[in-house]
Structure 1
Amino acid sequence: MKTYVEALPRKPYITPYEEESLDLPLAFEWADGLPRLTYRDALPQERMFGALWARCGTAREGRIQWNLVHTLRQRRCMLKGLCRVCGKSAADPDTGRVWWIMPSALAGGLRSPWPTAHPPTCRAHVGESLASCPYLRREASVVCTVGDYSPVGVLANLYGQDDGGRVAEIHHQTPVRLGERHLLQRALATQLIVQVTDLQLADRGRET
């Protein structure tokens, strides 16, 4: 029997590699009268939507880490509507709507906005993703097209300081809304959450 790794026909764009793991020299600084998580050698571009973002390399070398998500590539997919598998546009060339695989729980409420941290999947790679990803099979996912999407939050690790003043993780992979400034100040964002709207069940017969 093939394992999950052996069965995958390609390495997904949002999946990280061992060589892309970087040290995170975390520290706290004071900003606007509040403690704020930062890096000891922080760069301006490492903060977005009010949160510090986890550092990642971009070499795509070494052993692939199948159960993790590459922070920068995930964020890029969410902001630009790119496919989680190939990294190219997930927009339908005929309609401009973005192809997205969503949890089956959504099927009865397509008219409601829906937050997700899972990037789009282009029409060409929908079948491949459904066949090879255990998570998508387990959730009995549905294939939709999306008319619009916008950032609403981040998935983040929240930090504080222990009795010795050292930076310590308090909560792991916690959803934080973009308006929750008191949490964003001590968040290390790992994934962007967007809210998708104007969802329609996709016509699977048009996949290529």
Structure 2
Amino acid sequence: MTAPTADLRKPYITPYAEETVELPLTFVHVAGVDWLTYRDTLPGEFMFGVLWARCGNRQDGTVLWSMVHTLRQRRCMLKGLCRVCGRPAADPETGRLWWVLASPPPTDGAAPWPTVSPPTCREHIAEALTACPHLRHGSPFVCTVSDYTPIGVLANLYGHDDDGRLVETRHQMAIGLDDIHLLPRALATQLLVSLRDIRPEAV
């Protein structure tokens, strides 16, 4: 994937090659279930009942334009922060959150709609449309939402091969937060939320 040609700010959720870290994954057997974990698990690495991918936080070096920084994406989702600048994305007058989707939801906006794309503050919508490869090659839909709820994760699933070695069995699979059969084997990379009360907006 080619990088944007304009001299743009590096989006807050975009990772750098230097932020890639080792993932010392293993399984532990707990109450009859094999749980994916790290050999040196740290506090906070499990959230919503699933293990999260580790990332560095240098924000310096080679930009990986087509990828997403796991922990910054999750932070934006949980706190309603802009994917570009990392500051609050809520409209100061209405309190509604500005959002840019890669394509219009196939509804009238009333039904909940899932996405892994974080909010985008109004000030940086144009920048997001230029800098994000996913948005550049879609049919962007600018909107505001009244609320949203975490409903799942985008994750890689792990298991063992015939020789007992830990291997990835599925890549970037959407898993619901209530899927007790898959969450123990998952390594979450992005938080999936459901948007409510979606209104198209002009900018």
How does the TM-score come out when normalised to structure 2?
0.95
Q: For 2:135 and 2:71, locate their aligned partners in 1 and report how far apart those are by CA, in whole Å.
A: 22
Q: For 2:7 and 2:145, locate their aligned partners in 1 and report how far apart those are by CA, in whole Å.
A: 26
Task: Give the equivalent residue in structure 1 for 2:31.
Answer: 32
Percent of pairs with identical residues: 57
Aligned length: 202
Q: Kindly state the Cα deviation for residue 96 of structure 1 after the two structures are TM-superposed.
A: 0.6
Q: For 1:103 and 1:12, locate their aligned partners in 2 and report how far apart those are by CA, in whole Å.
A: 16
Task: Give the equivalent residue in structure 2 for 1:189.
Answer: 188
- Structure 1 residue ranges without an equivalent (≥5): none
Q: For 1:76 and 1:109, locate their aligned partners in 2 and report how far apart those are by CA, in whole Å.
A: 29
- Structure 2 residue ranges without an equivalent (≥5): none
Q: For 2:127 and 2:190, locate their aligned partners in 1 and report how far apart those are by CA, in whole Å.
A: 23
Q: Kindly state the Cα deviation for residue 45 of structure 1 after the two structures are TM-superposed.
A: 0.9
Q: For 2:161 and 2:3, locate their aligned partners in 1 and report how far apart those are by CA, in whole Å.
A: 40
Deviation string 1:3-47 (CA, Å, 9 cap, x unpaired) is 643325110000011111100000000122100100001123100
Task: Give the equivalent residue in structure 2 for 1:169.
Answer: 168
Answer whether contact 2:66 2:132 (CA < 8 A) is retained: no
Flag the 1:97–1:31 CA change in 2: closer, same or farther, 3 A: same
Flag the 1:50–1:79 CA change in 2: closer, same or farther, 3 A: same
Task: Give the equivalent residue in structure 2 for 1:150.
Answer: 149
Runs of 4+ in 1 over 4 A off after TM superposition: none
Task: Give the equivalent residue in structure 2 for 1:160.
Answer: 159
Pairwise CA RMSD: 1.4
Larger relative helix fraction = 1
How does the TM-score come out when normalised to structure 1?
0.92
Answer whether contact 1:8 1:132 (CA < 8 A) is retained: no
Q: Kindly state the Cα deviation for residue 182 of structure 1 after the two structures are TM-superposed.
A: 1.1
Flag the 1:152–1:33 CA change in 2: closer, same or farther, 3 A: same
Answer whether contact 1:154 1:192 (CA < 8 A) is retained: yes
Q: For 1:30 and 1:114, locate their aligned partners in 2 and report how far apart those are by CA, in whole Å.
A: 36
Matched, 1:49 2:48: yes
Deviation string 1:146-167 (CA, Å, 9 cap, x unpaired) is 1001100000000001122211
Answer whether contact 2:65 2:133 (CA < 8 A) is retained: no
